[in-house]
Amino acid sequence: MKNIQALAGLLAKFFAISLLFVSSVSFANIDVRFVDSMDDSKNTLVLVVNEPGALTGYSKTLNESTEQNFSALLSLNNFTGKFGEVQTLQLIGGFEHVVVVGTQNDLPLTAPELQNLGGKIAATLSSKNKDIEAIILTDNLNAELDDAAAQIAFGYHLRHYSFDKYKASKADGKSSLTFVVNNVSLNQNAYENDLRFLAEGVHFTRDLASEPGMSLYPQAFVERVKEKFKGIDNINIDVLDVRDMEKNNMGALLGVGKGSIHDPRLLVIEYTGAKKGEAPIALAGKGITFDTGGISLKGNDNMWQMKSDMSGAAAVAGTLYAIAQRGEKVNVVGLMPLAENMPAEDAIRPGDVLNTMQGTTIEIMSTDAEGRLILSDAVYYAQQKYKPKMLLNIATLTGSAARALSDEYAALITRDFAFSQQIMQIGEKSGELVWPLPLHPNHFEQIKSDIADIKNSGAGNPGASIGAAVIATFVDEDLPWVHLDIAGVDWLSADIDVAPKGSQGWGVRFMDELVRQNKP
């Protein structure tokens, strides 16, 4: 029977800053300022410290002004200064709170490490219903990046998130951050014109992935994205409905959506930031707005989490938002095949055969292997219509990937290992790590069907590779292609530095970095 559609502080006083130059930007209950000097205002002070026994910069000044009480308190609390260690002191040096963050590291800190520091500061300072006003000094940082303060602010914003739409009590705490830096203009530009949009894209992805399936079905996803992109330059949005899919023979995408009262959609966002006609980068994300498993019904344990089975599509939307908002000089097309996988009298069955846009037929071994089906039509459509120079697909595809790599890495599959190594470096630079799994010729042999061209599962143990092989069948062998299986990393059971538990919006930072490195 078909599912019926449902409806969906303690205030610190403002501190005075003496400065030669100041800039600020406000969004999402955060106000960020970059200044070049400060006075001794009595507010929260955040200091980064490399060596507690050899204080420098303002940390040394504070220690001297307190007659070495600052260093004595650090020693009393066994503060070692190791990376990420946090110690909060009260009423010292004229400040109500002094938060000391350890940054001890042999090598200069990378952008992801700086972002993690920002997240640690946010976790230490933030409270849902308390306003935060803090001065942050980064003069002790061992970092070669000129925009180190902006990276810390970015990490703070990533962590400064709460999905409380359905709670009676809403989080309304605000954060006012003032960074004292030498290169004010550079940090201002990096943050205000770039990194804040990336943080907003991650938050938008988390919002989508956190929504209950009752309120975020395919058309609702489309409407949310349209509203988010309203007024952004160089954006064109196209939506393929059932009639359009039928004209394009998208039998795989149509088949997955047959069991739901909510019709499937293919949402396409084109961003033209480079010359018209310049081949785009194509990003395709799995958008199963709720996954029951269909006729191959899942067990009840943790089925609630299947509301986030559209995390790949959500990440594509968040990435396009960040790229378009900062005006990146590149052409990108994002494709989000959207369907709800439900059991019903007209749902597809195991043993059925679906026709695809490519013409390849797929025998259904399990209706719970549906993500590869909707992506098969989407990636082929992307190639036929947009002729991309590179194609990436991202999906919460297999439990196999999660079992192999846990929550430390997303599974990365490409056609050759050398390319995988290049993509791994993108993960390291973005802070979203990937690890390669194989795609062997035998995997394509294993998906051959007795009655159709291929089958969608049931081909042995290498589940993540088998899922990738199905999608690869629809990707030109000469096209640079990246497959990301994010089943193990999209949802957090505990907080990490840059995200509270729940959806972490995984993939936005990765795809954003991929685009940066492959623009004309």
**Do 466 and 328 share a structural domain?**
yes
The predicted structure's pLDDT at residue 28: 63
Does 14 fall in a domain? no
What tokens does 162 get? 């709460």
Within 10 Å of residue 445's Cβ, how many Cβ atoms? Answer: 10
Q: Is 298 a catalytic residue?
A: yes
Q: Which of 178, 202, 226 is the last residue of a domain?
A: 202
**Do 50 and 160 share a structural domain?**
yes
Distance CA 170, CA 149 (A): 29
C-alpha distance across the termini of the chain, in Å = 51
Distance CA 447, CA 314 (A): 29
- Residue 116's Cβ-side half-sphere holds a number of Cα atoms within 13 Å equal to 17
For every one of its 520 residues, what pLDDT tens digit does the chain have, with 9 covering 90 and above? 444 333 333 222 223 323 333 444 445 688 999 999 886 665 899 999 988 888 988 999 999 999 999 999 999 999 999 999 999 999 998 888 999 999 998 899 999 999 999 999 999 997 655 788 899 998 888 898 999 999 999 999 999 999 999 998 877 778 899 999 999 999 999 999 999 999 999 999 999 999 999 999 999 999 999 999 999 999 999 999 999 999 999 999 999 999 999 999 999 999 999 999 999 999 999 999 999 999 999 999 999 999 999 999 999 999 999 999 999 999 999 999 999 999 999 999 999 999 999 999 999 999 999 999 999 999 999 999 999 999 999 999 999 999 999 999 999 999 999 999 999 999 999 999 999 999 999 999 999 999 999 999 977 779 999 999 999 999 999 999 999 999 999 999 999 999 999 999 999 999 999 999 999 8
**Do 122 and 150 share a structural domain?**
yes
Active-site annotation holder among 2, 42, 298, 385: 298
Active-site annotation holder among 159, 258, 286, 372: 372
**Do 292 and 143 share a structural domain?**
no
What CATH number is attached to the domain comprising 396? 3.40.630.10
**Do 46 and 162 share a structural domain?**
yes
Q: Is 403 a catalytic residue?
A: no
The predicted structure's pLDDT at residue 460: 72
The predicted structure's pLDDT at residue 126: 78
Does 15 fall in a domain? no
Nearest CA to 385 among 286, 220, 244, 511?
A: 244
**Do 458 and 367 share a structural domain?**
yes
- The residue written with tokens 């088949």 in the block is 255
Q: Is the dihedral of CA 476, 477, 481, 486 positive or negative?
A: positive
Does 30 fall in a domain? yes
Nearest CA to 59 among 45, 69, 47?
A: 47
Distance CA 297, CA 290 (A): 12
**Do 230 and 198 share a structural domain?**
no
The predicted structure's pLDDT at residue 367: 98
- The residue written with tokens 């069991």 in the block is 259
User: Are the C-beta atoms of residues 176 and 84 closer than 8 Å to each other?
Assistant: no
Instruction: Tell me how far the alpha carbon of residue 187 is from its chain's centroid.
Output: 23
68: CB partners within 8 A, 6+ apart: none
Distance CA 288, CA 296 (A): 15
Distance CA 342, CA 212 (A): 15
The range of the structural domain enclosing residue 133 comes to: 22-202
What CATH number is attached to the domain comprising 187? 3.40.220.10
The predicted structure's pLDDT at residue 175: 87
The structural domain count of the chain equals: 2
pTM, two decimals, is: 0.93
